[in-house]
Amino acid sequence: MATNRQIALAKIRSLQHSLFTAITELEVLAAEAAKRGDDAFSSQLSLQSVALAKESVRLRDAADDIRATMPLTPVVDRLNTIAADARSTVEDMDKIAEAIGKATTLLGIIRRIVTPFV
């Protein structure tokens, strides 16, 4: 049977993988925004990527604390806070992706309206 420390470390690893995936997705979206010439949005996505990277550092520190056998309750509390922050950031990313989709649709509509007059 797994100990509380092992469970906490497994949760941290899972969160780290999720963060790395989210960071990668943000970098791809930022590159696409930069290609479209939307530098402000690209910068915003890059800042979100940096924020997630900072969360990753916090997760690593939490894992180090667990391995150092400090009392588990404060570490779990930190882990829960980090997880909540990560979930919030992922929700923000989903909203950003939805906005990009709507903007792309709008641009397509505008392009179809303007094309006959050009």
Q: What is the pLDDT of residues 50-107, one digit of tens each?
A: 888 888 898 898 888 888 876 667 777 888 888 888 888 888 888 888 888 888 888 7
8 Å CB contact between 77 and 55: no
Taking CA atoms, 55 is separated from 74, 89, 97, 99, in Å, by 17, 10, 21, 24
Q: Indicate the pTM of the whole model.
A: 0.60
Q: What is the pLDDT of residue 71?
A: 66
Residue found under tokens 């930022």? 30
